[in-house]
Structure 1
Amino acid sequence: MKIALVSEHASPLALAGGVDAGGQNIYVAHVARQLLRAGHQVDVFTRRDRALLPPISQMDGVRVIHVPVGPAMQLPKEKLLPHMPAFAAFLLDFCRKERQCYDVIHANFFMSGLAALAVKDALKVPLVMTFHALGRVRRLHQGASDGFPDARFAIEDELVRRADCVVAECPADRDDLIEHYRADPARIAVIACGFDPGEFSPLDPAEARRRLGWTPDEFAVLQLGRLVERKGIDNVVQGVAALEARHGVRAQLYVVGGDAQTPNEIATPEIARLRDVARRCGIEERVRFVGRRERAQLRDFYCAADVFVTTPWYEPFGITPVEAMACATPVIGAEVGGIRHTVRHGETGWLVPPRDPVALAARLRDIHADPAQARAMGEAGRARAQAHFTWRRIGQQLEALYARLAGAPAAQGEHERMVANARAASLRAFG
């Protein structure tokens, strides 16, 4: 098949960890690579956000088309909606000029879906839609701090109604689509996000700490990902403080992520807020902001940590808990969104309420007090990640979905078998 992936603000070439560079960038990059390895031709369309970018880049054989709309600079995704008509016009013109039209177009995020509708309508190309976050659910959690206009809701309504299939990343995402958007359950496919075993696997913790320069015997807590308020990193800081105040356990918290290699409060304003939280909690010297790191370096951080913690208020899926599990590190996660389905409470780690540092401190104490149980949780997490959440499995499930929608010239029985297997895999993964 010839497949187009549209990801207007999240380029697969971007370094993850910045304000608008996270799970969607990783998702698009890995899905594109998996489809290419399966023998398909794959193009990714993303907005040109730097002046020196060529019109088309290559990523391991995948074409990345930089769409020249808006200023050639990084813009907050909340400011991109006015540029989507031009994005749609470029996308449609590019498709018309191609010698062979795409068999399927997979839009990522609602603005990409808006642009892709032009191709669906004009060229009758099947449209697959992954939202990665839903506007109404985001507004419920973020209130006035949500920078997107209300117009987003009507756009998402139309996409839910008109897309040939909507991909939900977990059962909670599926439930939100049905409850808040009246989505047809028969047109929703639950397909998770994943990890690459070539990137993430266990490593001797002592060796990982030596590489990073961490103290060998400290109790190390890791928070890794985008540094934005909804990720609840202030809750992790407060939880580490409560761990000492209530349970007498001192921990070192490492915060990895941001818009610069060196922690920079100008480039990443959230760092300033979090430092103030740590200062008010009396643990400023035990919260270390590491800065953004290349993906090749992240394995060392996951493996060096005694526990990985992520307590967002809202998380459609959450790739970092799966990556930590793949490295055999126990996870404490907020009982929200996809995290409450990927992390098995009491088996691969613990689930806690968001915005509850006392509950978090109690589970940190449990990890610290019972190293044998922590190791067992890490191993259980690794087995779960390997069984259900590799990008190879996710790629196969998407491939089967695309083939069914595009009517690819293979035996229909084989397509039906692949779709049935994908559904069964989703049930096994999420229970």
Structure 2
Amino acid sequence: MRILIIHNHYKEAGGEDTVFFAESNLLEEHGHDVRRLTVSNKDVNSTSQKLEAALGVVYNPKSAKIVETELQAFKPDVVHVHNFFPLLSPAVFYVCQKYKVPVVMTLHNYRLICPSAYLHYNGEVHLEHVQQVFPLKAILDKAYRNSALETASAVLATGVHKLLGTWRNKVSKFIVLTPGAQELFLNSSLRPKPEQIAIKPNFTEDPGMGDENREDYFLYMGRLSPEKGIETLLKAQKSKSFKLKIIGEGSVRSLVEEHAAQHPEVEYLGFMPREEALEVLKKAKALIFPSEWLETFGMTIVEAFATGTPVIAAKIGGAAHLVHHKYNGLHYTPQSAHELAEQIEVLEQNPVLAYELGRNGRTTFEKHYTSEVNYNLLLDVYHAAIGQKERLASSAMAAEASL
């Protein structure tokens, strides 16, 4: 199969970039002909570049030409879009339709139904915009990057194409990562057809089991930003005084550094390459996943499962689906530092439970989140998209003949 994979990289690498590389490599390993078409926000620096990007969010003719050139040269069986915002724009979908190539798009975040992309801003979860084509209040609230102008740009880019029917008619299959995300998108302003949505979780390469005898520390690894629940984590650590290691970079780094300077039980390790971070994870007593937005998935949770590491997670979003309380991890109420501290104490006082949670996490990984399981699911989605396109073409020909 010939697969063109399209992605707009962010300035700060994140989970979407990881999935983009992992899936494209996986397909190549299985003998598919894969071509990657990428752009990066790192290339947008000057005022003129920023203006060009802003003017092209609804339809970028330059990007359309680039995609068209790729389609003509590569002639893919299917196109898989991971992210089109802001540089590529929805022009991608119109060009693919012109050349009758089916499109699969992974919904890594909520950008199509919320300009913040997280359904979380100003310290709160926001679901009031989910069914609005143009969520104007989000612009006044500066939902995206604390900028009314950039929020308006995101609202315009998605809202216009809701009115045009782009999402319903020019995307063959949407991939969502959990059943919860599926339900949310089905009942949103996106108005997808039920048959458009397929559930396919992310995966991780097997890093191997962690140490049977764990060291005396808990671990947070991920982006350091407000919606990730960092403040709740630090409050819990202050009240319970447990040993904590933190890996990551982000906007609240100074808050973490300040806390670590005042509390010797906390060690801030900064950014670490994935391989090194996994070695720290393998020795940890548990991974703490305090995220307070409706994560579409939770890659670090799956990595913890793979290493046999228990997970303590806020019961919201992807974590509510991935973690089963007292089976492969423990839940607590989002934003409750008190409950988080209680669950940490449960694990500290019950090493047998911690061992069982870790083993069950490994079983969860082997059943649902290995590369082989994921490859088969991904191929099913591609075949369904191609089949759907062929059925539509056949119906169109029959209708034309009848006319």
| TM bucket normalised to smaller | 0.7 to 0.9
Q: Identify which of 339, 357, 370 aligns with 1:359.
A: 339
DSSP-derived class of the 2:31 partner:
coil
Change (3 A) 1:124 1:81: farther
Aligned length: 349
1:149-160 counterparts in 2 under 5 A? 149-154=154-159, 157=162, 158-160=165-167
> What is residue 144 of structure 2 aligned with on the other side?
146
Q: For each residue in 1:114-170, what CA deviation from the matched residue of structure 2 results, as whole angstroms up to 9, or x when unmatched?
A: 142133222111011112111335464215342343224416734531211111110
SS of the equivalent of 1:302 reads helix
- Mapped pair 1:202 → 2:204: no
Could you say which residue in structure 2 is the equivalent of 1:119?
95
Gaps of 5+ in 1: 11-18, 51-68, 210-215, 244-249, 259-267, 413-431
Partner of 1:22: 14
After superposition, residues 5-404 of structure 1 pair within 5 angstroms as 5-10=5-10, 20-48=12-40, 70-71=44-45, 82=55, 85=60, 86-96=62-72, 98=73, 100-111=74-85, 114-135=90-111, 136-137=113-114, 138=117, 140-143=119-122, 144-147=142-145, 148=151, 149-154=154-159, 157=162, 158-162=165-169, 163-180=171-188, 181-197=190-206, 200-204=207-211, 216=215, 218=216, 220-243=217-240, 250-258=241-249, 268-276=250-258, 284-314=263-293, 315-404=295-384
Aligned residues of 1:110 and 1:155 also touching (Cα < 8 A):
no
Change (3 A) 1:26 1:156: farther
Partners of 1:238 and 1:33 in 2: how far apart? 40
Deviation at 1:227, TM superposition (A): 1.8
Classify the secondary structure of the residue corresponding to 1:8.
Answer: strand
**Given that residues 210 and 281 in structure 2 are in contact (C-alpha distance below 8 angstroms), is that contact kept between their aligned partners in structure 1?**
no
For 1:150, the aligned partner's letter is V
Question: How much has 1:313 moved relative to structure 2?
Answer: 1.6
Whichever residue aligns with residue 225 of structure 2, its letter is: V
| Structure 2 alignment gaps of length 5 or more | 123-141, 146-150, 392-403
Identity across aligned pairs (percent)? Answer: 23
- Compute the displacement of 1:341 (Å): 1.0
In structure 2, relative to structure 1, the CA distance for the partners of 1:28 and 1:184 (3 Å cut) is same
SS in 2 for 1:236: helix
**Gap change, CA 1:358 and 1:27, over 3 Å in 2:** same
Q: How many Å apart are 1:5 and its aligned residue?
A: 1.1
Q: Which residue of structure 1 lines up, in the alignment, with residue 128 of structure 2?
A: none
| Equivalent position of 1:263 in the other structure | none
Q: CA deviation at 1:298?
A: 2.3
Aligned partners of 1:369, 1:156: CA distance in 2, in Å? 54
Taking the aligned partners of 1:376 and 1:110, their CA distance within structure 2 comes to: 42
Which amino acid counterpart does residue 252 of structure 2 have in structure 1? Answer: E
Query: Measured at CA, do residues 238 and 88 of structure 1 come closer, stay the same or move farther in structure 2, by a change above 3 Å?
Result: farther
Q: CA deviation at 1:372?
A: 0.9
CA, structure 1 residues 131+81, in 2 after alignment: closer, same or farther (shift >3 Å)? farther
CA shift for structure 1 position 375: 0.7
Output the CA distance in 1 between the equivalents of 2:38 and 2:252: 26
- d(CA) in 2 for partners of 1:81, 1:369: 54
Change (3 A) 1:95 1:110: closer
- In the aligned structure 1, how far is the partner of 2:178 from the partner of 2:161? 18
Please give the TM-score of this superposition, normalised by the length of structure 2.
0.79
TM-score normalized by the length of structure 1:
0.74
* Contact residue 110 and residue 119 of structure 2 kept, 8 A: no
Structure 1 CA distance for aligned equivalents of residues 331 and 259 of structure 2? 23
Q: Distance in 2 between matches of 1:174 and 1:402?
A: 18
Q: Report the alpha carbon displacement of residue 108 of structure 1 after superposing the two structures with TM.
A: 1.1
> SS in structure 2 opposite 1:150?
helix
1:117 maps to a residue whose letter is: F
1:155 to 1:347, Cα distance in 2 relative to 1, 3 A = farther
2:287 maps to a residue whose letter is F
Q: Structure 2 counterpart of 1:5, which letter? A: I
Determine the C-alpha separation between the residues in 1 that align with 2:19 and 2:91.
19
Q: Deviation at 1:48?
A: 4.5
- Residues 342, 94 of structure 1: CA spacing in aligned structure 2 closer, same or farther, 3 A cutoff? same
Pick closer, same or farther for the CA change 1:3–1:89 going to 2, 3 Å.
same
Does the residue aligned with 1:44 lie in a helix, a strand or coil?
strand
Distance 1:155 1:30, change over 3 A: farther
Please tell me whether the aligned partners of residues 201 and 327 of structure 1 are also in contact (alpha carbons under 8 angstroms). yes
